Amino acid sequence: MSDFLYFFSFQDSSIAFVVMGITLLGIGSAFVGTFSFLDNKALLGDAISHAVFPGICLGFMLAGEKNPFYIVGGAFLSGALATFLSSWLKSNTKLSDDTIIAVILSVFFGIGIVFLTVIQKSGNPEMAGLNQFIFGNAIGIVERDLWVYGSLSVLIIGVIGFMLKEFQILVFNPEFGKAVGLPMNMIRFVFDVLLILSVVIGIQAIGVVLMAALLITPGTAARFWTDKLNILLGLASIFAILSGIFGTYISYLLPQMPTGPWVVVILSSIALISFLFAPKKGMVSRYFHRRSYVQKTQRDHVLKSIFKARELGQEGLTRAELLSLYPHQQKSIKNSIRSLEKEGLLFVNQSLIKLTDPGKYQAKRVVRLHRLWESYLNEYMNIAPDHVHESAEKLEHLLTPDLEAMLESRLNFPKLDPHQEQIPRDHDEL
């Protein structure tokens, strides 16, 4: 607990620096990553993040120490080479996108590991820190690193904010952008540079292997919550910052613990929560939505069965008669009867289940939609009367009052359906 307070009160200026760095990094990578996720280029970020590794090792070899300028420079150049190679391969070969990405990723990372081994054999005492670039160590950030990574992050955030309109059209409809005269090739180039930079700024804190997660996951998770680009970018940033700070905290508590994997664990949890619980798009909300639709379907069926019994001259149906109509759904039909009774659409009189006035109104509507749809299928789509029931059974619950009005006017308010049964209207006596 005291560790927690010590960390989050930021009384230690080096911790405050690291948290600030992680925050900037989170916003920068979430901004860039959200656009590349929307552009369906999630894998390119992964390829670039692996591809910067040989550049990092070369930078280290040249500098002989962990100099951030050499490391960032080397990482940027090898990321740029990978980006260039992937677009060159795309336009000059018939290889598919995923093949190109897989080749670039593994070749560059493989070369990087070869370099790392060479460095380890050289016995340079500084090389111990180089492993950190694979899985990241935010606590290892010193002030000099922070200036380099922090200012690059600010640059990325600034450019994205400044060119929001340009990147929006780059992702949504680049052809149109070109048609109205915007320099789309230049905008694409700027975006590619930002993508590489956003990988580069994360190598110390998150590491090359997992940097793609910090790029792509925040936008993916945020997409479940919103359809608005501004909110999407904001939410993605918040997710990235939260996971970044938490990952850093873990690295602070347990000095041997790399930051990257913990950031990924937190991000994945946020993504999982979004996937499950986001309103509208989340799994849980969709499950309840579907369940309530199924329940409405069953309630409609109960009302309809009693209505049909009345058409045949019966006052109502007994519970046993009603249940025998739906032999496979005994339990749910029982629930439907109970809830219909509670809503005042049914009442039980001398063991007969009967419709109340609102119940009749509702039942007539369902039967009317069913028979109107049957008539429509028969008349406009030339489907034989004995083939229309199945479709109407499903669509009677779905049709809106708007569509009902359209059906009525298209069919010219028919009295009978294709089976010569009466189509009940609100004012008809039952």
Give residues in contact with other proteins (CB under 8 A): 38, 40, 162-166, 168-169, 171-173, 175-183, 223, 226-229, 232
| 113 vs 182, beta carbon nearer other proteins | 182
| 280 vs 394, beta carbon nearer other proteins | 280
Smallest gap from residue 166 Cβ to other proteins (A) = 7
| 96 vs 106, beta carbon nearer other proteins | 96
Q: Count CB-CB contacts under 10 A for residue 279.
A: 9
Tokens of 50: 């692996």
Smallest gap from residue 375 Cβ to other proteins (A) = 21
**Residue among 163, 158, 142, 124 at smallest CA distance from 68:** 142
| 46 vs 166, beta carbon nearer other proteins | 166
Smallest gap from residue 182 Cβ to other proteins (A) = 6
| 38 vs 116, beta carbon nearer other proteins | 38
Smallest gap from residue 154 Cβ to other proteins (A) = 18
| 237 vs 362, beta carbon nearer other proteins | 237
Smallest gap from residue 377 Cβ to other proteins (A) = 19
Smallest gap from residue 178 Cβ to other proteins (A) = 6
Only one residue has tokens 């949504």, namely 172
